[in-house]
Structures are given as C-alpha cells and as structure tokens.
Structure 1
C-alpha cells in the first residue's frame, strides 16, 4: 500500500506514431500507476476518445492521418475538461497561436527523461 494519489483510475490516451517512443511512454506511465491506452495516429486516438472519457490526452504533434494539434482541438470540443500535453521535437509549432492548439495545453519537448514526463503528467493532473 502506498500513499501516492490513486492513479490507477486515471486514464491517459497516448497518441505517438514512433513505436519505440510509444512503448517507452506507456511503460513509464503504467509503472507510475496510470491506465494508458495508446495509438499510433491521431485519427484512431480521436475515435477512441469518442467512445470513452480520458483525464489526459498525451499526444505527439507530427503524426499521420490527424496531427496532434487537430486531435487536441477535437478532444477539447468533445470534453472541455480533458487535459492536454504535447510531446514534441517541434515546440514552436505547438506554441504558434495560428494553429489554435488548446491554450491550457502543456508542452514537453523531446528529448526528455521518462521521469520528467511522469512528473509533468502528475503535476498537470493535480492542477
């Protein structure tokens, strides 16, 4: 029994097209106690979001079929309370106001340590 926040009931939807990166992220988040569902493209992730609610959308920006910014925009239309975090090597893209990314979204720039990712996710979910 540990005294951390009860993370097992917190569901994270991960959209990342790089299979190695996706595997590392899922493992790190699951090890931290989160329930993670992952997809390799934005369209599949969006279709899952339409089926059930998630507390957090963790998404890459550059992906096939639907990019992360479009996915985040649609996710916040479906659920205004969903928290969004972009993981990207292109932080400037997410920060560009013309792309209409959700304003409250957090951005974690690649490369990052998995520990930093888990800390940022925990901080964002606690906010």
Structure 2
C-alpha cells in the first residue's frame, strides 16, 4: 500500500483529499502545515509527499527540499491554486510533479499511480 504524507493548510481540502485517497486505497497521514510534517519525515516512512505549495510557516517547496534530505527515496507531488508558484516549484524540485487546483480526484489518483507505475493492475481506474 502506498503511504502518503499530505500537507495541506486548507481544512476542507485536507479532509476531502484524505477521505478520497484512503477510499482509493492509499494510506494517508495528513497535517495542516509543513512544520507539522517535518517531524514525521524519516527514511521509508512514506512513499509520497503530497503538499500544497502556499502554506503558512513553511511552504511546500521548502518542505519538499527538506524531505529530500531526510527521506531521499520519497517522491513529491505539489498541489497548488497559484500558477505563479508552479514554475518556482519545478525549478526548486525538478523531479516533483505539479498538479494545479482545481483538479478532479480521478486525475490525482491517476498521477499518483503513474508515479509508482501502478497502471491498471491496481484496480485504480
């Protein structure tokens, strides 16, 4: 089972994503800010960091950079409603995927499955 660390400061979005990703078969640990995610980072603790870019205290880009140091095998996907930060995220963490809000949940699941080469065998479709 893919383990996802979700960092999203919007309560409604965080709850929605957590429920939807769990329903899609992922194990999700959700926090409301980057600084809350930091102590959870450890090698092999999570397969994917799914993080909003624009958050208080620590943005998702800094979180992803720190995650890369503490858990180098973890993949990163940014979610953002701000087109201007998408380019900055791509430069700062080039291996990360960026998904712009609003997005359909099916698109998110498809992108996560692609990141892990899960395809049609997983039952996600």
Question: What is the TM-score of this pair, normalised by structure 1?
Answer: 0.85
Moved over 6 A (4+): none
Aligned residue pairs, count: 118
Q: Counterpart of 2:77?
A: 85
- How many angstroms does 1:101 deviate by? 2.3
Looking at structure 2, the residues matched to 103 and 115 of structure 1 have their Cα atoms a distance apart, in angstroms, of 24
Q: Counterpart of 1:124?
A: 115
Matches within 5 A, 1:29-40: 29-40=21-32
Q: Which runs of 5+ in 2 are unaligned?
A: 119-125
Contact kept? 2:44, 2:73, Cα under 8 Å: no
Map Cα deviations across residues 70-94 of structure 1 (whole Å, 9 max, x no partner).
0000001112211000000124313
Map Cα deviations across residues 48-91 of structure 1 (whole Å, 9 max, x no partner).
11486210000000111111000000001112211000000124
